[in-house]
Amino acid sequence: MTKLVVEHDIPQVVADDRPPEDARGGVIPLLEQIGAVVVPLGVGLYALLYMGIEEMYAVFNVSPQQVGIDQSVLFSRLITTLVLLVLVLIPLVGMIVAAAWAVNKITFGRAARALDTVRRRPWTAAFLAALWCGATYAGAAAVFSPFDALGMAAVAGALALVAFLVPFRLLRRRQMGRAGVKVVTGTLTGIGLGFVLILEMIKGAAGIQATGQGNTFLDFLGFQDQWVVLKDADTDRPLYNGRWMMLLGESVGTYVFYDCDKLETFRRPIEGTHLAHMQLQPEREEGYTCGGLAGPETVD
């Protein structure tokens, strides 16, 4: 498209350097680009959260189903966790974008030009995407194997070079291939974030097992940090010397408790057990640890 400019009565034809309307982008292409990353990220994260809840309850030698957490309850907890993560990630992404904008302004646009140069170099872009995908496997290595930080970095680098670099470079030759790289990267990003959350779940459950006190992260997951004093349902006499027990849940006519003093998980029938006192998220004195308070006890 051109426009006619008249200057000093001499007609000149000046090229209009504005891109066509359809080349400037719009809402639909933007949503497609966001969805190409967010959807696979959310699916991968959801699957890993499911695995993380199983690992969290495994610390107490039980499964989620054994404490009464069925698929519907588990689904609602996971959705709640994802919503809370979105609420945290959106401001974080906004701050990163603002920081990037500020850096670009301070450098008079050099940062954006450097980033664009990297994007235009296929091997460099493929290497960065491959290294990012390899790093997601470092989280898996931390969960399932005793690798230290150096070992996890070696795993990430080896996978990036051997498994991802060449395929990503070949995929970048076409537009559909570049979209595929985004999907793979988004999926593995969600999986990597999920492994980080699994580590936090296991650490939180181990903290409760050792100190009898939960944390805010486990609260977001709906973990039941509830402590009760048990009494016999027939005689109303205190059980286990009236000590506090953590109620993990109930299923198939039985309560599941964790005895912080003896570091063990046990079950009792609901019909023979009365929950006399209840306490949510009890405050512990500084330095309190489980395992040292159990003495001679009477169990009826």
Alpha-carbon Rg of the chain, whole angstroms?
28
Alpha-carbon span 152 to 192, nearest angstrom = 13
Structure tokens at 281: 């998220």
pLDDT at 259: 92
SS3 letters across 219-241: HHCCCCCEEEEEEECCCCCECHH
pLDDT at 258: 93
pLDDT in tens for each of the 300 residues of the chain?
444 444 444 444 444 444 444 444 455 665 666 666 667 667 777 777 778 888 888 999 998 888 888 777 777 777 777 788 778 888 888 898 889 889 988 988 888 888 888 777 878 878 888 888 888 777 777 777 666 667 777 777 888 888 888 888 888 778 777 777 877 887 787 777 788 888 888 888 888 888 888 877 887 777 878 899 999 988 889 998 888 999 998 888 899 999 988 889 999 999 989 998 888 888 887 878 888 754 444 444
Burial of 56 (C-beta count, 10 Å sphere; 0-12/13-18/19+): buried
Structure tokens at 6: 């008249």
Q: Which of 205, 216, 248, 201 is nearest to 49 (CA)?
A: 201
Burial of 143 (C-beta count, 10 Å sphere; 0-12/13-18/19+): middle
pLDDT at 178: 78
pLDDT at 22: 44
pLDDT at 26: 53
pLDDT at 77: 75
User: What's the sign of the alpha-carbon dihedral 260, 261, 262, 263?
Assistant: positive
CA 265, chain centre distance (Å): 27
pLDDT at 33: 63
pLDDT at 6: 47
Angstrom CA distances, 109 to 24, 96, 102, 125, 128, stand at: 20, 17, 10, 20, 22
pLDDT at 32: 64
SS3 letters across 94-149: HHHHHHHHHHHHHCCCHHHHHHHHHHHCHHHHHHHHHHHHHHHHHHHHHHHCCCCH
Angstrom CA distances, 131 to 13, 33, 190, 251, stand at: 49, 21, 15, 45
pLDDT at 267: 92
